[in-house]
């Protein structure tokens, strides 16, 4: 503070009066001259009094104060403390001259302080927003540079490598398919009945040989020639997937696949003489023209076992409807819209007449019965 007072160019009278009054009160509170704080404060008071001699008229207001004394500094500081604490001249100067200047300085400082604080906080807010905007812009620019230098070339390289890999796989599959077909053609050429390496022992083994109609047609749209079918597929895997069983289980018998005994072909003959009395009764009930002859007990004894949406496949069409299975009959209800001239496909079958259930070898649909 002492150095700032000497090197500062100029200061107002109110500021100097405020500083002198505050420091004089600090000196007046000191109980001993040997206090360390007094040795720091006294030179500052002397420098203020010398600097504001003309502004505050120190020479005329304080004639008893000799600032040009050339005695030892310790003696001068002791006399200055005694003068400030006990001299009526100093008390009158502080009351009439310094206190109004200090009040003026405090009021001016407080008035400008709010405006200065507002300006300071506004500048801080503006700087923060500017720094945030600059940081966001730098982050965006850095992200764009990273994407242009690393991300985009990497993505392009990944796509090119993936395309190249898939192309190679397709080429390998095509090449293997071509080689397999060439070998199969060579095998048919040399091991066929007219081939050079045909064996008579294997002439009766034609399990792996399958045929199909040639795609060539005559003028009557008839295909009259059979050709070998090297791409034959028995659809066993599709049937196994439909029935939720493994392909090797298709070779087991129907009994091992837990199919009910009623669905198997019995050893009985198809003649009416081989039917039991109960079967004959059921057939008679089915052929009755009216339902009044059937008792209420027999009606109530029929219970539903299975109900499923399905299609009735005929020679000319596939009719969508609903299949219901009871303990006596199997029903099919036509689900197509009703029309007067169209014949409905509703039908009923008695379980007593059922002799065989053929499990389909082709997966006709993902779900439903056929």
pLDDT at 367 over 50: no
In the chain, % of residues over pLDDT 90: 19
Distance from C-alpha of 323 to C-alpha of 307, rounded to nearest angstrom: 6
Q: Which two tokens stand for residue 87?
A: 């001299």
In order of 207, 209, 231, 253, the CA distances from 248 in angstroms are: 18, 21, 21, 12
Q: How would you class 225 by CB atoms within 10 Å of its CB: exposed for 0-12, middle for 13-18, buried for 19 or more?
A: exposed
Distance from C-alpha of 188 to C-alpha of 167, rounded to nearest angstrom: 31
Q: How many CB atoms lie within 10 A of CB 147?
A: 13
pLDDT at 258 over 50: no
**Mean confidence (pLDDT) of the chain:** 76
Q: What domains are defined for the chain?
A: 1-193 (no CATH), 267-353 (2.30.29)
pLDDT bucket at 141, cuts 50 / 70 / 90: very high
Alpha-carbon torsion, ordered 55, 61, 64, 67, to 10 deg: 0
Between 47 and 278, the more confident residue is 47
pLDDT of residue 146: 93
| pLDDT tens digits, one per residue of 287-316 | 554 445 455 555 557 888 888 898 888 888
Mean pLDDT of 150-176: 95
For residues 56 and 16, the answer to whether their CB atoms sit within 8 Å is yes
Q: What is the DSSP string of 133-145?
A: HHHHHHHHHHHHH
Between 48 and 205, the more confident residue is 48
Mean pLDDT of 128-150: 94
Mean pLDDT of 104-122: 82
Top-ranked range on mean pLDDT: pick from 172-176, 184-188, 253-257: 172-176
pLDDT of residue 2: 63
For residues 20 and 52, the answer to whether their CB atoms sit within 8 Å is yes
pLDDT of residue 176: 96
pLDDT at 364 over 70: no
| pLDDT tens digits, one per residue of 316-352 | 888 899 999 888 888 998 888 877 777 888 888 888 8
pLDDT bucket at 201, cuts 50 / 70 / 90: low
Distance from C-alpha of 195 to C-alpha of 59, rounded to nearest angstrom: 143
Top-ranked range on mean pLDDT: pick from 54-63, 99-108, 126-135, 182-191: 126-135
User: For the chain, what's the residue count?
Assistant: 370
Phi and psi, residue 335, nearest 5°: -100, 5
pLDDT at 98 over 70: yes
| pLDDT tens digits, one per residue of 42-94 | 778 777 777 777 777 777 777 777 666 655 566 677 777 777 777 778 878 88
For residues 41 and 23, the answer to whether their CB atoms sit within 8 Å is yes
Between 329 and 246, the more confident residue is 329
Q: What is the residue whose two structure tokens read 């709010």? A: 114
pLDDT of residue 289: 45
Helix (H) or strand (E) holding 174: helix 152-191
């Amino acid at each position: 503070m002492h150095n700032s007072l000497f090197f500062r160019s100029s200061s107002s009278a109110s500021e100097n009066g405020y500083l002198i009054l505050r420091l004089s009160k600090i000196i007046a509170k000191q109980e001993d001259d040997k206090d360390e704080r007094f040795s720091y404060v006294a030179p500052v008071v002397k420098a203020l009094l010398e600097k504001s001699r003309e502004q505050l008229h120190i020479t005329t207001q304080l004639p008893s104060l000799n600032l040009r004394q050339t005695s030892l500094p310790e003696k001068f500081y002791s006399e200055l403390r005694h003068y400030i604490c006990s001299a009526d001249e100093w008390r009158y100067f502080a009351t009439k001259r310094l206190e109004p200047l200090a009040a003026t300085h405090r009021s001016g400082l407080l008035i400008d302080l709010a405006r200065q604080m507002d300006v300071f906080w506004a500048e801080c807010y503006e700087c923060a927003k500017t720094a945030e905007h600059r940081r966001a812009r730098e982050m965006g620019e850095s992200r764009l540079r990273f994407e242009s230098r690393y991300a985009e070339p990497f993505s392009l390289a990944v796509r090119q490598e993936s395309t190249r890999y898939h192309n190679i796989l397709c080429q390998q599959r095509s090449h293997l398919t071509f080689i397999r077909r060439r070998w199969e053609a060579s095998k048919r050429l040399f091991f066929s009945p007219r081939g050079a390496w045909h064996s008579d022992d294997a002439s009766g083994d034609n399990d792996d040989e399958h045929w199909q109609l040639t795609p060539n047609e005559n003028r009557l749209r008839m295909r009259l020639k059979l050709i070998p079918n090297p791409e034959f597929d028995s659809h066993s895997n599709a049937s196994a997937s439909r029935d939720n069983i493994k392909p090797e289980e298709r070779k087991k018998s129907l009994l091992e696949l837990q199919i009910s005994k009623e669905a198997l072909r019995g050893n009985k003959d198809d003649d009416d003489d081989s039917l039991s009395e109960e079967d004959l009764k059921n057939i008679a009930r089915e052929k009755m023209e009216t339902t009044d002859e059937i008792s209420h007990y027999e009606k109530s004894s029929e219970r539903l076992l299975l109900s499923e949406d399905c299609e009735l496949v005929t020679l000319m069409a596939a009719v969508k409807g609903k299949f219901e299975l009871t303990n006596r009959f199997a029903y099919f209800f036509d689900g197509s819209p009703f029309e007067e001239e169209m014949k409905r496909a509703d039908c009923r079958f008695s379980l007593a007449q059922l002799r065989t259930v053929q499990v389909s070898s082709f997966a006709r649909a993902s779900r439903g019965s056929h």
